[in-house]
Chain A
């Protein structure tokens, strides 16, 4: 069963702590994405990864960085988390432009 897996599903962090969100896919898709979803703003693209160590900023990259050392794994890192980074984070992967698969999301609360 082809899927994108996100860990953890729920996370509570204090302001200033570092946060690591992890995403894995079993489809050998080259391209992977990180989005965040907020009420009134919808889903916004944070970063795109075209393959291992080939990453590009999306529309809202400030405050985030990513790491992709293996094709099947894409991490989102928040260095010194802020309360305005409380959100639901979705990872996705795609095969070209024809097949996008989303994970179930990680709910992050920064207090």
Chain B
């Protein structure tokens, strides 16, 4: 069964500094990777979807995928206080299995 682990559990950054989040997965046949943001008591907002090794940028959010190392990361450029939220990594081996989520990284951005 797929295991998805995120680190760190929590992260505090200053406004304008780069924030980096990590996600490791256990099944090398995984082919769909997503980063979601979840503000307190709210729904899931997709930030970046990535399907092949390399880099994918969506605005201030960049995902890096290295399937050989079973690792996908998210970098947040110039984070703002409104980016304070829980960031969830989700991995899929196919639509028949759905998405497997990590437990999240809680990001706090201070002015």
A, B in one complex: yes
A103 x B98 contact (CB < 8 A): no
Docked complex Cα distance between A102 and B43 (Å): 7
Query: Number of contacting residues on A, CB 8 A?
Result: 25
Number of residue pairs spanning A and B whose beta carbons lie under 8 angstroms apart: 52
0/1 interface trace, chain A 88-105, chain B, CB 8 Å (1 if under): 001010101110101111
For B43, give its contact among A50, A94, A98, A105 (CB under 8 Å).
A105
B103 x A94 contact (CB < 8 A): no
Cβ-closest chain A residue relative to B95: A97
Chain B residues with CB under 8 Å of A103's CB are 43
Of the four ranges (under 10, 10 to 19, 20 to 34, 35 or more), the interface on chain B belongs to: 20 to 34
- Chain B nearest CB: distance from A105 CB in Å? 6
Docked complex Cα distance between A107 and B34 (Å): 24
Chain B residues with CB under 8 Å of A90's CB are 43-44
Contact A45 B98, CB 8 Å, known A90-B43, A97-B32 = yes
B96 x A48 contact (CB < 8 A): yes
A42 x B32 contact (CB < 8 A): no
B98 x A48 contact (CB < 8 A): yes
- Chain B nearest CB: distance from A107 CB in Å? 8
Residues of A within 8 A of B (CB): 31, 33, 35, 40-43, 45, 48, 50, 56, 58-59, 90, 92, 94, 96-98, 100, 102-105, 107
In the assembled complex, 11 residue pairs joining A and B whose CB atoms fall closer than 8 Å, in A order, are A42-B88, A43-B101, A48-B96, A48-B98, A50-B96, A58-B98, A90-B44, A98-B49, A98-B51, A100-B46, A103-B43
